Amino acid sequence: MTIFNDFEKLQVVAPNFKRRLSGVTSTIIQLVPVQNATGITIATIGPGLPNHLPKIRYRDLWKLWKKPNSGKNRIWHARRNTEMLAGVIMRDVLRMPVKLVFTSASQRQHTGYTKWLIRRMDGVIATSAKTAAYLKVPHQIIMHGIDTDRFSEVDDKSKLKAELGLPIAQKLIGCFGRIRHQKGTDLFIDTMISILPNAPDWSAIIAGNITSQHTAFANELKGRIHNSGLSDRIIFVGEHTDIHRWYQALDVFVAPQRWEGFGLTPLEAMACGVPVIGTDVGAFSSLLKDAPYSALTSETDMENDVFQLMTNIESANQEHAAIRRHVTDNFSLDKETANLNAFYQSIENFTYPYI
């Protein structure tokens, strides 16, 4: 564990008060190293984070009473209610010199308690226009980005397929994410059961974790596949830490979610040069806008839209560089980091003494 002790230089704290991996946790894991590389000094606090991230111990929180070398306030960047509440207590009860920032990814009406917390923030960020529509306070939209070095094109797709144990001669269509009703895994599988008998040169792969509460759902889906006679062409490949390699092996990616807070999978696929068909949830309408050979769909239109892209895959393959460029130009981690750092700097009494 990398214990952070240089509190005189500390400018931003990124709390993570949830042990289980989530989209918020993943955001922190990706952003903190990039933010630190820009010259800002940021540390995390809380469970569920990898050891390479700089982390404050709970017993060292008292050190936040002392202002940093700049003589200004630090930023406490919350992304959950519990983290907002902790920030309010630190600032208003313990009188620590902190400014509170909250990032909201929620696309639903906030509870009265959440609204109360949000009104006490010094700055509020929305991850998309849809999220912003539910905020009743001044805010700025800063969309998530991804690591476009990690998620990139591969030179030899056939070699990669062989390394991953995938059928080399088949084109591949994929759906990645946790296996559950919310993520629309069943919609993807039903679409594949309908399409694949008429597309003998294609196979489908499903990557993602199956938690205990969704085991019955996954088993029912596997039963559907078995009954369709497509068990050798619709394949569950499990959860992988090297998920970028599985994206790189694909020809088409489908994001069939029924609900999503933001949703990074379309960006991860497109950064690998893979066209995407996605439902109109989360930030997908913004992510897929103007992306070559990528489009929104609905539950009723999914089969037709996916089949049309599969039949036009040779044309789509000619545009793989443009598909990737759509992400590198608009949704890189570097761009998100620059926007966040500028937002921090706009908060009253916050400056960068080391840049």
Average pLDDT, rounded, for the chain: 93
Multiple choice CATH, 157-330, 3.10.129.10, 3.40.190.10, 3.40.50.2000, 3.10.450.40: 3.40.50.2000
Q: pLDDT tens across 73-89, in order?
A: 999 999 999 999 999 99
pTM: predicted TM-score of the whole model, two decimal places: 0.87
**Looking at the predicted structure, is the pLDDT value of residue 355 above 70?**
no
User: What pLDDT does 350 receive?
Assistant: 57
Query: 301-345: per-residue pLDDT in tens?
Result: 999 999 999 999 999 999 999 999 999 999 999 999 999 999 998
- Whether 2-145+333-346 shares its CATH topology with 157-330 is answered yes
- List pLDDT tens digits, range 141-153: 999 999 999 999 9
CATH of 2-145+333-346, one of 2.115.10.20, 3.40.50.2300, 3.40.50.970, 3.40.50.2000: 3.40.50.2000
Split at pLDDT 50, 70, 90, the class of 26 is confident
Residue 1 in this model has a pLDDT that exceeds 90: no
pLDDT at 349: 57
pLDDT at residue 19 tops 90: no
Chain-centroid distance, C-alpha 305: 24
pLDDT of the residue at 353: 46
**Which sequence spans correspond to the domains of the chain?**
2-145+333-346, 157-330
- What does the pLDDT look like over 43-56, one tens digit per residue? 999 998 999 999 99
In this predicted structure, which of 15-19, 255-259, 321-325 has the lowest mean pLDDT?
Answer: 15-19
